């Protein structure tokens, strides 16, 4: 059941798509860039992998059940192998944070097109008379 709730939460984020790749992993992307990987094991979850900041990386990997994500750790990704390590609320917040980090790294034009950032307004210059 938690698998369905996690997938539902991830898909509720703007412009998220899901693909199944790498032997059955559920990979969630925004504008083609992944922000979440759920590794299912039948109807349960073997692991959840997401991006975080360097400070969050150090903090999270100090917890039992959370490790550096294989192949992705140098880019500040962690793998939650024991879902009891984070509450569902905190895990959802971490997923949202991962989405925000990945979205912030998208080209400005892509973020504008997707509505992930407000268009810049230029200040109006007043004329001195």
Query: Residue 126: inside a domain, yes or no?
Result: no
Contacts for 54-62: CB closer than 8 Å, 24+ residues apart: 56/94, 56/97
- Local structure of 104: helix, strand or coil: helix
Q: What is the pLDDT of residues 51-97, one digit of tens each?
A: 999 999 999 999 999 999 988 877 899 999 998 999 999 999 999 99
Tell me how many domains the chain contains: 1
Residue 119 confidence (pLDDT) = 64
Query: Residue 10: inside a domain, yes or no?
Result: yes
Q: What is the pLDDT of residues 27-55, one digit of tens each?
A: 999 999 999 999 988 777 889 999 999 99
Round to whole Å and give the CA distance between 85 and 129. 65
Query: Residue 20: inside a domain, yes or no?
Result: yes
Q: Look up the CATH number of the domain holding residue 42.
A: 3.90.1150.30
Q: Which domain holds residue 67?
A: 2-110
């Amino acid at each position: 059941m938690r698998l369905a709730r996690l997938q539902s939460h991830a898909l509720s984020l703007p412009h998220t798509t899901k693909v199944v790749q790498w032997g059955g992993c559920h990979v969630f992307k925004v504008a083609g860039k992944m922000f979440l990987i759920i590794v299912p094991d039948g109807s349960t979850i073997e692991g959840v992998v997401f991006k975080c900041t360097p400070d969050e990386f150090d903090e999270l990997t100090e917890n039992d059940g959370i490790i550096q994500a294989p192949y992705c750790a140098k880019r500040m990704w962690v793998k939650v192998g024991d879902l009891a390590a984070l509450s569902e609320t905190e895990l959802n917040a971490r997923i949202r944070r991962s989405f925000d980090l990945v979205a912030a790294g998208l080209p400005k034009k892509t973020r504008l097109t997707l509505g992930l950032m407000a268009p810049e307004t230029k200040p109006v210059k007043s004329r001195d008379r």
